[in-house]
């Protein structure tokens, strides 16, 4: 979108560079002059916050790798060594561990924002799908990272999740052995997960670049969901949104810092401060909080469906839950993007958010009544929302009248 930039090389050196590698022009077009809808609210700052989170994880992670040992005999002690002996290690390790949680806080908010404001609708389907891909990659990265301290939860979390592969008919057991490098989780597993945990963030960064590229083709969606019509609807990204994003980052860092300084372990599990023991399963295995909703869906299927046994059924349900996100642009065919103008959608969406929190709560409970029944109910609503409610609402709902332009909606608000 080179037409947005008014960049004219200021001197002979800039002109020389611009003819050979126009990085300054590129930065001007995409980081400074990029036309951005002028009505973006604070829910739109989480993209920038997520870039910051990825940066924090990569920087702290590279430092931790300088002191960590990926071997079953030494891994647990090396993490304690980082926390006790390494200069500033206590804070750096806590930032990385808390950072993973904060990453997911921002990720979920970013995704729920997209789901409310219809940011996945044409022409932004690829943008949305790349986002879901980033979510899946981040989940895989966080999961492998949680194995590395080699505590009880690390070991048993890895055991439970790697057994998901064994649910695949015929080739499942071979795939599981290929992934683990043995018959059970062991040293080969830890070693390769460390390698992949180091690799994946850079792949995420590459997909983030594609995600931003896909964003800069159609431009941002916005809270009223009406496309930008002329230049009066937009402001340049810099300084308007660079400053707004920076402010949001600072606010986001407040709870982040609180956790790091005062409660670095509160989001973890005490069992992970016991070294991994392949002979004793903790009484109650809980994944990290950010995986809980999907974990609930996995174990909600405790009955056979036709020829599909309960184990494969659970895996299919969990995979299906993620697949729903990928295909949501084609499930919700309503022409109106923003939930603000959809009187019925709003309520079902609100219930979906509560239901998702419910799924997270249930994932941390033991597998007993009434939780098992509630888990089935919440799992059912998750799928009904995507597969029934969204397609049906698209047909039967009468949306409220849309403002004719972003400018009108902004000025209208000012008058009211």
Partner 1 sequence: MSTQAEHTTTNRRDFLFVATGAVGAVGAAAVVWPLINQLNPDASTLALASIQYDVSPIAEGQSVTIMWRGLPVFVRHRTEREIEEARAVPLSDLKDPETDEARVKEGHAEWLIMIANCTHLGCIPTGQSGDFDGWFCPCHGSHYDSSGRIRRGPAPANLVVPPYEFVSDTLVQIG
We find the least distance from the C-beta atom of residue 268 to partner 1, in angstroms, to be 18
Cβ burial 2-19 (10 Å sphere, 16+ → b, else e): eebbebeeeeeeeeeebe
Given a contact cutoff of 8 angstroms between Cβ atoms, the answer to whether 211 and 95 are in contact is no
Residue with tokens 């056979």: 304
Q: Does residue 160 belong to the site contacting partner 1 (CB under 8 A)?
A: yes
Please enumerate in sequence order all residues whose Cβ is within 8 A of that of 94, keeping only pairs 6 or more positions apart, or say none.
Answer: 259, 260, 264
Annotated binding-site residue? 216: yes
Annotated binding-site residue? 81: no
Residue 85 or 302: which CB sits closer to partner 1? 302
Query: For every residue of 212-245, which 3-state class applies, written as one string?
Result: HHHHHCCCCCCCCCCCCCCHHHEEEHHHHHHHHH
- Contacting partner 1 within 316-375 (CB under 8 A): 366-368, 372
Q: Does residue 191 belong to the site contacting partner 1 (CB under 8 A)?
A: no
Residue 118 or 314: which CB sits closer to partner 1? 314
Count of residues in contact with partner 1, rule CB under 8 A: 38
Residue 4 or 299: which CB sits closer to partner 1? 299
Applying CB under 8 A, among 55, 88, 123, 182 the residue interacting with partner 1 is 182
**Interacting stretch for partner 1, rule CB under 8 A, among 124-132, 156-164, 234-242, 345-353?**
156-164
Residue 35 or 186: which CB sits closer to partner 1? 186
DSSP readout, 322-369? HHHHHHHHHH---S---GGG-HHHHHHHHHHHHHHHHHHHHHTS-S-T
We find the least distance from the C-beta atom of residue 374 to partner 1, in angstroms, to be 14
Annotated binding-site residue? 415: no
Q: Does residue 199 belong to the site contacting partner 1 (CB under 8 A)?
A: no
Residue with tokens 């430092």: 63
We find the least distance from the C-beta atom of residue 161 to partner 1, in angstroms, to be 8
DSSP H helical ranges for 21-151: 23-27, 46-65, 75-84, 89-116, 125-147
What would you report as the CA-atom Rg of the chain, rounded to the nearest whole angstrom?
24
Residue 182 or 239: which CB sits closer to partner 1? 182
- The CA distance from 220 to 215, in Å, is 6
Q: Does residue 164 belong to the site contacting partner 1 (CB under 8 A)?
A: yes
Binding to partner 1 by CB under 8 A, coded x per residue (else -) over 243-282, reads -----------------------------------xxxxx
User: Looking at residue 400, what DSSP letter applies?
Assistant: P
Applying CB under 8 A, among 314, 329, 358, 363 the residue interacting with partner 1 is 314
- Contacting partner 1 within 283-302 (CB under 8 A): 283-285, 299, 301-302
- The CA distance from 335 to 109, in Å, is 23
The contact set with partner 1 (CB under 8 A) reads: 156, 159-164, 177-179, 181-184, 186, 188, 192, 278-285, 299, 301-302, 304, 309-312, 314, 366-368, 372
């Amino acid at each position: 979108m080179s037409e947005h930039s008014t960049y004219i090389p200021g001197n002979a050196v800039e002109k020389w560079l611009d003819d050979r590698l126009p990085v300054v022009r590129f930065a001007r077009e995409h980081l400074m002059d990029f036309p951005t809808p002028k009505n973006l609210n604070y829910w739109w700052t989480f993209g920038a916050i997520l870039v910051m989170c990825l940066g924090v994880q990569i920087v702290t992670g590279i430092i931790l790798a300088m002191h960590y040992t990926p071997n079953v005999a030494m891994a647990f002690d090396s993490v304690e060594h980082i926390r006790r002996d390494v200069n500033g290690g206590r804070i750096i390790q806590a930032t990385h561990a808390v950072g993973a949680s904060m990453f997911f806080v921002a990720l979920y908010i970013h995704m729920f924002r997209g789901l409310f404001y219809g940011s996945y609708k044409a022409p932004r389907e690829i943008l949305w799908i790349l986002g879901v891909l980033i979510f899946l990659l981040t989940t895989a990265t966080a999961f492998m990272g949680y194995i590395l301290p080699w505590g009880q939860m690390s070991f048993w979390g890895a055991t439970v999740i790697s057994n998901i592969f064994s649910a695949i008919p015929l080739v499942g057991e071979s795939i599981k052995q290929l992934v683990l490098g043995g018959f059970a989780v062991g040293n080969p597993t830890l070693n390769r997960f460390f390698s992949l945990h180091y690799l994946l963030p850079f792949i995420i960064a590459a997909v983030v670049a594609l995600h931003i590229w896909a964003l800069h083709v159609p431009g941002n969606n916005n809270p009223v969901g009406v496309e930008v019509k002329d230049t009066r609807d937009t402001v340049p990204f810099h300084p308007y949104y660079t400053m707004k994003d920076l402010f949001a980052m600072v606010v986001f860092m407040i709870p982040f810092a609180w956790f790091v300084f005062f409660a670095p372990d509160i989001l973890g599990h005490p069992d992970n401060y016991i070294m991994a023991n392949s002979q004793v399963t903790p009484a109650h295995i809980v994944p990290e909080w950010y995986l809980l909703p999907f974990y609930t869906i996995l174990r909600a299927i405790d009955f056979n469906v036709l020829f599909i046994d309960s184990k494969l059924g659970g895996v299919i349900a969990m995979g299906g839950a993620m697949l729903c996100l990928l295909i949501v642009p084609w499930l919700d065919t309503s022409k109106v993007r923003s939930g603000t103008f959809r009187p019925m959608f709003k309520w079902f969406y609100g219930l979906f958010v509560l239901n998702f929190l419910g799924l997270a709560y249930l994932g941390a409970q033991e597998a007993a009544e009434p939780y098992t029944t509630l888990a089935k109910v919440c799992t059912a609503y998750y799928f009904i929302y995507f597969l029934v409610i969204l397609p049906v609402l698209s047909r039967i709902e009468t949306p409220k009248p849309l403002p004719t332009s972003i400018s009108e909606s902004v000025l209208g608000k000012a008058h009211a």
